[in-house]
């Protein structure tokens, strides 16, 4: 659906993107992550045809952005970091205007307008001027504008930036709803949002892609062993008992009742450990597997670990 091959972008003497390549399949939701200045927004703008690369190619559903930009852009819906809204226009008039710009036939505009208004829950703001809306509602209008021409691919650049926690949840749920029938690439600083919404992440740093995989596979790559937190009721040391178990690498404790157990990646290892602890007369209060968060994965990869 999206093919980016050997794309580079220069601003004067500064190279923002360095021969990046990736592909996104139909129906995927992919998170595009990186620190400030990494090249995320430049990549988003090149994918949408807003910028041209100095080298490399972009195609959308097999259509070249360089050779046939008008046809390629018809397949795209784009929400930039700051939505290009007209504050004096009512919501319905603005969305009609965007539909016309995107070539929606006049006979279909009412149908598409009704669809996106319902999808984004803007019914009560249908006739409201955009300048009177909250930031969260303006973001909904921006998303409605991005999908009104029924594109196959949606590109969202920081869709929840500046929103409060409730608005973030609302926009996140809206993205999930839209994703049932679209291919989405999503740039965001909110890593928990990406982890919840996206099936795969692409991490960029200094203009280069440094990782591309599901968060689960990235965890396995950076943390090949398994870690468990074990809490017991007694203050007796269980490390000697646990370390005898086949597959246990270490059992350490900074608290007489809490232990961190490192093991090989064996499916049944947790059950074996808990059974051994209980059979030796100890009372288990908590057993929890510890996994790297997306924040920790992100930090390790950016630091080159």
Task: Tell me, yes or no, whether 237 and 212 share the same domain.
Answer: no
Environment class of 78 (CB within 10 Å of its CB; exposed 0-12, middle 13-18, buried 19+): buried
Where does a domain end: 162, 191, 220? 220
- pLDDT value, residue 170: 85
- Domain CATH number, residue 284: 3.30.70.100
Q: Which has the closest alpha carbon to 31: 198, 154, 209? A: 198
Question: Domain end: 220, 253, 271, which one?
Answer: 220
Judged by phi (left if over 0) then psi (alpha if -120 to 50, else beta), residue 158 lies in left
- On whether residue 183 sits in a domain, the answer given is yes
- Structural domain ending residue among the three candidates 204, 220, 236: 220
The count of structural domains within the chain is: 2
Beta carbons within 8 Å of 156's beta carbon, 6+ residues apart: 79, 143, 146, 175, 184, 185, 186, 187
Are residues 11 and 91 part of one domain?
yes
In whole angstroms, what is the distance from residue 123 CA to residue 106 CA? Answer: 21
For the record, the structure tokens of 194 come out as 């990406």
Q: What is the DSSP letter of 265?
A: S
Question: Are both 231 and 149 inside the same structural domain?
Answer: no
pLDDT of residue 296: 81
Cα gap 143→149, rounded to integer Å:
11
User: For position 305, what pLDDT does the model report?
Assistant: 63
| CB 146, CB 115: distance < 8 Å | no
Distance CA 45, CA 151 (A): 17
pLDDT value at position 190?
73
Q: Between 106-119 and 135-147, two packed helices, what is the crossing angle to 10 degrees? A: 140
Please give the structure tokens belonging to residue 199.
Answer: 């099936």
Residue 159 lies in a domain: yes
Q: Give the DSSP per-residue string, 144-210.
A: HHHHTT--SEEEEESTTTT--HHHHHHHHHHHHHHTTSSEEEEE-S-HHHHHHH-SEEEEEETTEEE
- Regarding whether 74 and 43 lie in a shared domain, the answer is yes
The encoded tokens of residue 225 equal 């062993």
Tell me which DSSP letter residue 274 carries: H
Q: Are residues 199 and 233 in the same domain?
A: no
> Residue 55: phi, psi to the nearest 5?
-140, 160
- Whether 54 and 8 map to the same domain: the answer is yes
pLDDT digits (tens, 9 = 90+) for 148-180: 999 999 999 988 888 888 888 888 888 888 887
Residue 38 lies in a domain: yes
245 shares a domain with 199: no
Q: Are 30 and 175 in contact (CB under 8 A)?
A: no
Model confidence over 26-45: pLDDT tens digits? 989 999 988 888 899 899 99
Domain that holds residue 23: 2-220
Residue 207 lies in a domain: yes
**Concatenated DSSP letters of 222-260:** H--SEEEEEEESS-S--HHHHHTSTTEEEEEEEETTEEE
Which of 219, 191, 197, 217 has the alpha carbon at shortest distance from 297?
Answer: 219
177 and 55 in a common domain: yes
What per-residue confidence (pLDDT) applies to 216?
83
Eight-class DSSP state of 268:
T
Which residues of the chain, if any, have pLDDT below 50? none
Residues 6+ apart with CB under 8 A from 183: 1, 2, 24, 25, 26, 27, 28, 29, 152, 153, 154
Residues 135 and 190 occupy one common structural domain: yes
Interatomic CA distance for residues 78 and 45, integer angstroms? 9
pLDDT for 164 equals 84
Q: Identify the pLDDT of residue 48.
A: 93
Do 134 and 155 share a structural domain? yes
**pLDDT of res. 36:** 84
- Whether 192 and 239 map to the same domain: the answer is no
């Amino acid at each position: 659906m999206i093919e980016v091959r050997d794309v580079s972008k220069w601003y004067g003497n500064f190279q923002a993107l360095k021969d990046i390549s990736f592909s996104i399949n139909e129906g995927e939701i992919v998170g595009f992550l990186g620190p400030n200045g990494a090249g995320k927004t430049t990549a988003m703008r090149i994918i949408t045809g807003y910028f041209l690369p100095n080298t490399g190619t972009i195609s959308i559903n097999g259509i070249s952005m360089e050779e046939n930009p008008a046809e390629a852009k018809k397949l795209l819906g784009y929400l930039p970091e700051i939505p290009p809204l007209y504050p004096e226009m009512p919501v319905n008039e603005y969305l009609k205007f965007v539909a016309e710009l995107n070539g929606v036939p006049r006979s279909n505009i009412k149908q598409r307008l009704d669809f996106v208004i319902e999808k984004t829950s803007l019914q009560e703001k249908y006739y409201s001027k955009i300048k009177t809306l909250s930031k969260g509602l303006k973001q909904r209008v921006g998303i409605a504008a991005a999908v009104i021409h029924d594109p196959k691919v949606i590109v969202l650049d920081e869709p929840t930036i500046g929103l409060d926690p409730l608005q973030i949840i609302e926009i996140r749920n809206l993205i999930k709803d839209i994703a049932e029938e679209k291919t989405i690439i999503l740039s965001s600083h909110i890593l928990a949002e990406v982890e919840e919404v996206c099936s795969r992440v692409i991490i960029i740093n200094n203009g280069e892609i440094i990782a591309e995989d599901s968060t689960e596979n990235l965890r396995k790559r950076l943390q090949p062993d398994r870690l468990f937190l074990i809490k017991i009721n007694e203050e007796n040391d269980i490390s000697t008992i646990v370390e005898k178990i086949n597959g246990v690498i270490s059992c350490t404790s900074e608290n007489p009742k809490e232990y961190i157990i490192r093991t090989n990646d064996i499916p049944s290892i947790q059950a074996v450990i808990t059974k051994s602890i209980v059979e030796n007369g100890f009372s288990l209060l908590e057993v929890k597997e510890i996994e790297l968060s997306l924040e920790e994965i992100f930090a390790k990869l950016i630091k080159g670990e």
